[in-house]
Structure 1
Amino acid sequence: MTALILPLIAGAVVGLTLGALGGGGSVLAVPALIYLLGFTPAAATTASLVIVTATSLAALYAHARTGHVRWKAGAAFAAAGILPAAAAGAAATHMPQAVLTLAFATTAILAGLHMLRPADTGRPGSGDVRPAKAAAAGVGLGTLTGLLGVGGGFLVVPALVTVLAFEMEAAVGTSLLIITANSLASLATRSSAAVSLDWALIGPFIATAILGARDGKRLASKVSGPRLQRMFAVALLAVAVFMVADAMV
């Protein structure tokens, strides 16, 4: 019973984050799996993709019911990123873990700092799809998803806000569609590793993550977009600093 407490708590936190912010789930899941549950870095990244895929699907359903998913733009991002995510996922197995950790932390710091910038009030959240920009951003995000073993929501949300001028609520909802597609593509290259995972720990983790995502959706409906954006940025920076410090030890 005691062994189940940590995955249950960690899953709830990851789900709450993903449901409320549309990303950050794997940013928290990977450290939790490594430092709390004893997974190796390679197993943690694969397990994180399984967890985030399941949780993203649950959160996507909740956001879709409230009309906060822009399906056309999300499909454009996802379609552009699926093949790069799969290719990068295969390449990541041949790269040193320390290099991947530092690359991930650096990217998270840049995204967090960008999200802390004041919102551009001169650009309303029209959500108009700009195909070329959406495709270019989708390729880049898919590559990073596969390379770093994360869902990519912490990159998708700022991309949707800046590239397509989405309001924060729509960016959060649409990011979940993209996270699911990219995670599935990356998992396709890690199927053999997924079979050997400790499902006795991952199962409870997923269950509470899904429940937490529902609560996160309700939290998102009660908190203003700019405040959510600041919370998202602070969480990114905190995790990134921790990962840099750990990698440098």
Structure 2
Amino acid sequence: MTVLILALTGGAVVGLVLGALGGGGSVLAVPALIYLLGFTPAAATTASLIIVTATSLTALYAHALAGHVRWKAGAAFAAAGMLPAAAAGAAAAQLPQTALTVAFTAIAALSAIKMLRPAGTARLKAGGVRPGKAAGAGAALGALTGLLGVGGGFLAVPALVTALAFEMDAAVGTSLLVIAVNSLASLATRSGTAASLDWALIGPFIATAILGAWYGKRIAAKVSATHLQRIFAMVLLAVAAFMLVDAVA
């Protein structure tokens, strides 16, 4: 019963962050699965992919209704990341647990630093779309998603803004499509691992994450997004530091 409560709580926190900030919450899923529910790093990344897929598809539906998803451009961006996501997902199963944890802490720290930096205001001029850069960013995001089980919204959104000149609303909505596709591609190579996961814990985690995401949107309407990002970034830095020390100790 205690473990079930931890799963429900962990899912709610991840969902709240996703709903309030529009991204970044999936970075907390892996440490929650490892330290609260006792998953190994490899199992945690697979379970995180399942959680990311479910929550991103739910959020994608809401953004699609609002007209914030550019399907053709998003599909092309996602296509560039499918093979890297699948390859990285297969490679993750062969890597040492410590290597996965160290790599994850580096990405978590990068995510936190990006949130602490002031948002850039530079935008591409009309006609300044860069297909090559978009393809490269899509491939890199796919590899990141497949290897570490994170959605990578903190990388996808800026990539869509700078490489494809998307407005912010469209970038956030379309990034959810990209994340869902990459997660599914990586999961396709992890079918054996997924079958052995503890679904009695993952199911409740996903359920409260989805509910938390809807409530997080209400919080975002009442609290400054910049303030929320700074608080989350500091928490994420602390989590990354703890995981790194625990991995190398």
Structure-to-structure mapping, 1:163-178, within 5 angstroms: 163-178=163-178
In structure 2, the residue matched to 1:11 is 11
Contact 1:115/1:158 (CA < 8 Å) preserved in 2? no
Structure-to-structure mapping, 1:223-234, within 5 angstroms: 226=226, 230=230, 233-234=233-234
Comparing 16-25 with 88-97, greater Cα deviation is found at 16-25
Q: Deviations over 1:17-42 (max 9, x none)?
A: 22333332332111111111112222
TM-score (norm 1): 0.86
Between the aligned partners of 2:234 and 2:152, the Cα distance in structure 1 is 17
Between the aligned partners of 1:228 and 1:163, the Cα distance in structure 2 is 27
Between the aligned partners of 1:118 and 1:32, the Cα distance in structure 2 is 28
TM-score (norm 2): 0.86
Percent sequence identity over aligned pairs:
76
Q: Which amino acid aligns with 1:108?
A: A
Aligned length: 249
Q: Which amino acid aligns with 2:201?
A: L
Runs of 5+ unmatched residues, structure 2:
none
Pair 1:25–1:225, CA change in 2 (3 A): closer
Structure-to-structure mapping, 1:92-111, within 5 angstroms: 92-111=92-111
Comparing 197-206 with 153-162, greater Cα deviation is found at 153-162
Contact 2:131/2:163 (CA < 8 Å) preserved in 1? no
Contact 1:125/1:167 (CA < 8 Å) preserved in 2? no
Pair 1:119–1:201, CA change in 2 (3 A): closer
Between the aligned partners of 1:32 and 1:170, the Cα distance in structure 2 is 30
In structure 2, the residue matched to 1:134 is 134
Pair 1:170–1:247, CA change in 2 (3 A): farther
RMSD: 2.7
Q: Which amino acid aligns with 2:109?
A: I
Q: Deviations over 1:133-173 (max 9, x none)?
A: 11110011111111222222233234334444545444332
Runs of 5+ unmatched residues, structure 1:
none
In structure 1, the residue matched to 2:117 is 117
Pair 1:233–1:72, CA change in 2 (3 A): farther
Between the aligned partners of 2:92 and 2:139, the Cα distance in structure 1 is 16
Contact 1:101/1:244 (CA < 8 Å) preserved in 2? yes
